[in-house]
Copies of this chain bind each other. A is one copy, B any other.
Amino acid sequence: MSFEERIERCLSESVEASRSASCPPGLEQAVYQAVFPGGARVRPKICLAVAEACGEDHPSVSDAAAAAIELLHCASLVHDDLKCFDDSPIRRGRPSVHHAFGEPLAVLAGDALIVLAFETLTRVADQAPERLAPLVRILTEAVGMRSGIIAGQAWECEPKVNLDEYQQLKTGSLFAAATAAGAAAAGADSAPWLALGQHIGSAYQVVDDIQDVAGDAEKLGKPIGQDEARGHPSSVQEMGLDGARRHFKSVVAGIVEKIPHCPGEDRLRARMIEESSKFLPDALAENAA
């Protein structure tokens, strides 16, 4: 089964398991729309690739870790799109959750997705009970207020922001969790894997900033020009478009060097090179032209 199939199956199982007569239909639909159809599922793919490279012995534990990370990512998108943050009408080419279902259900859908992420981990806890605590710790660290997405998002409410730190919190932290959780799901030490995830996150964030200036709104499934309009910190704002493109190339070049020694090191390196080329946006190709 491909990574894509494993991820979609595990996400479906999690969301299906949440349906009940007690769950109001509006909330159920809002949660479903927040998760399906997905974007590139970059984070869970990275998680599974690392688990495989570490010699995963319980694939369903890796699947749960990957799905939990994607659910937390979806939660952050739903809340970021709220009126009080970005007020985005469009996400993944469709109405955003708060535009389709209203503000109250969007707040609750985001909350429900956070909870569902942790529930997903417990569904497979019997298979490798000693891995639950490290996985919950990795996820809470990645999204929490100390050093996670929520802290990153909250910096947007402060008068002064450090761009590197903001991007590390808002994007890097969940990528770091993806690599660390992949290792932890396979029973390996997660610590050496954090740097790889952070590095991939940096590359991804620069791409996102460039796309926001030079991307194609239709292909992206969301409007462009939003960082400037909202005064969000951005690499392009700080380095200019060409500077950001040069920065992206140097960051991408360093990704494979960050891969720790592991049984499937060679295969993971090949995967990383392949995946990096996929998230090279058209905006960067223009630069090459």
Contact = CB atoms under 8 A, between A and B. Distances in A.
A157 B109 CA distance: 12
Interface residues of A, number: 60
Contact of A150 (B20, B27, B136): B27
A157 B119 contact: no
- Main SS of chain A's interface residues? helix
Interface string A116-147: 10110110011001101100110111011111
A114 interface: yes
Contacts of A216: none
A118 B145 contact: no
A158 B114 contact: no
Contacts of A20: 146-147, 151
10 contacts: A20-B146, A23-B151, A26-B154, A31-B145, A79-B107, A79-B111, A104-B156, A104-B157, A111-B111, A121-B136
Pairs of residues from A and B, 8 with the lowest C-beta to C-beta distance, nearest first = A27-B154, A84-B103, A119-B140, A125-B133, A112-B145, A115-B144, A24-B154, A20-B146
